[in-house]
Structure 1
Amino acid sequence: MSTVYVYVLDTLADWELGYVTSELNSGRFFKKGAYPVSLKTVSYSKEPIKTMGGMTIMPDCLIDDVVVRGTTALLLPGANTWNDPKHGAIIEKASEFLSSGAMVCAICGATAALAHFGLLDKRPHTSNGPGFLEMVSPGYKGQSFYIDQPSVADNHLITAGSTGALLWAKQIIEHLGVFQSNTLESWYQYFSTGKPEHFFALMQTLPSGNG
């Protein structure tokens, strides 16, 4: 089993996580024999957090409870509260993930938190457009590694801008290896274009019992 930790904090951008968490939790398009994925919300305290959309989330565990293994992943969503010093502990944990070869996936404001701690200085990455990280993280030195794309996967680090949630989800799912490649491509094409032929192609890729 793979454990995917989702960091939750006040003003969390609900929509940025929707594609990836729904697929990993439901397993509805998983390939035959894919290992199950356990999703756990984690935060700096056990107090409920309120998302940007007004939803209340009770964290499943604390940062100290996170176990870093090669099969674990850490998802860091966007939020307007990343500059609060209390979130420094999860960025330190993210550094531990990367050093251990475990996956870290950051989107929107979370990329700024990584940049502030120097974790993007020597790794290919993206964010909310050229100049954004310099504006919000004065110590950022990773300009030569910045790639102006919606989402960028570099080994165990996957970063995305605020409009890159779908591609970010695709790259995370691909890294975890829980979809067949043709299932993932049809899934991505359907949700990015809305064309029904991609939906039917998606259904045809599924092992019996999933569709």
Structure 2
Amino acid sequence: MLQFVHLYVFPGFADWEPAFATAGIQSPQYQREPGRFEVRTVATGSGIVRSMGGLALLPDLALSQLKDADSALLILPGGDGWEDPERHAEALDRAGEFLDRGIPVAAICGATAGLARRGWLDARAHTSNAPAYLNGTGYAGAAHYRDEPAVSEGGLITAGGMAPVEFAREIFSQLELYEPAALEAWFNLFKTGKSEYFARLQRAAETPVPG
């Protein structure tokens, strides 16, 4: 059954932060069940959105059209405006609804601050760009902060802005996109650039997993 992973896009979103994740989801090569997931973009409106890198995107649908049953995961990238409590209010509302209903949410960089202001990091292990960055939001979850590139707990994935590969790995793990050996090889390939991991990735994807 085809499932959608929804990427929230907005003017000035940091296009490189979710790129490893969306590219992996869209590419069937090495996946456990090729074609099971597809990426769809969502925005507050229906007009063209231009990313921080200057890419012009026409969103697939508006946030108001996003239905819980249609989404396997919602990705919130960093970028402009997360310091403004109202700028991304609709996206944060949907993220909260998803988490309440057990649908995973993945937030990176500035988006973690948006979640922090809403209280979604108060009781979950999480990370971000730095402890001080989240402390500036006035949130109550400092005791649950982890000094790690990416953290996953209770259906919520968080990452710092310098950890797009780790962010993707946690998303792939949440979706069970790859077999464990393939996921490990994928991660090491993109973290090290060593060709030996490409060969391992190919072997892992070609090796049948005992049923």
TM-score category by the smaller chain? over 0.9
Q: CA RMSD in A?
A: 1.6
1:49 is aligned to 49
1:35–1:178 CA contact under 8 A, matched in 2:
no
Deviation at 1:69, TM superposition (A): 3.3
Cα distance in structure 2, aligned partners of 1:44 and 1:100: 21
1:29 matches 2:30: yes
Deviation of 1:34 (Å): 5.0
Cα contact 1:16–1:78 (8 A) shared by 2: yes
CA distances 1:169-201 after superposition (whole Å, capped 9, x unpaired): 011101101211111100001111111111111
The TM-score, its normalising length taken from structure 1, stands at 0.92
What is the CA–CA distance in structure 1 between the aligned matches of 2:71 and 2:98, rounded to whole Å? 10
Equivalent pairs counted in the alignment come to 205
Distance in 2, matches of 1:81 and 1:70, equals 27
Q: Which whole-Å CA distance do the structure 2 matches of 1:53 and 1:37 have between them? A: 26
2:73 pairs with 1:73: yes
- Report what 2:98 is aligned to: 97
Q: Distance in 2 between matches of 1:181 and 1:35?
A: 18
**Letter in structure 1 aligned against 2:135:** E
**After TM superposition, what 4+ stretches of structure 1 lie above 3 angstroms from structure 2?**
none
Equivalent residue number for residue 59 of structure 2: 59
Mark the runs of 5 or more structure 2 residues left unpaired by the alignment.
none
| TM-score relative to the length of structure 2 | 0.92
Residue pairs, 1:1-211, within 5 angstroms: 1-31=2-32, 33-34=33-34, 36-69=36-69, 72-82=72-82, 83=84, 85-135=86-136, 137=137, 139-207=138-206
Percentage of identical aligned residues: 35
Q: After superposition, give the CA deviation of every residue in 1:11-38 in whole Å (9 maximum; x if it has no partner).
A: 111110110000101222212x456112
Which letter maps to 1:44?
T
> Are the equivalent residues in 2 in contact too, given 1:95–1:119 (CA < 8 A)?
yes
SS in 2 for 1:38: strand
SS of equivalent to 2:6: strand
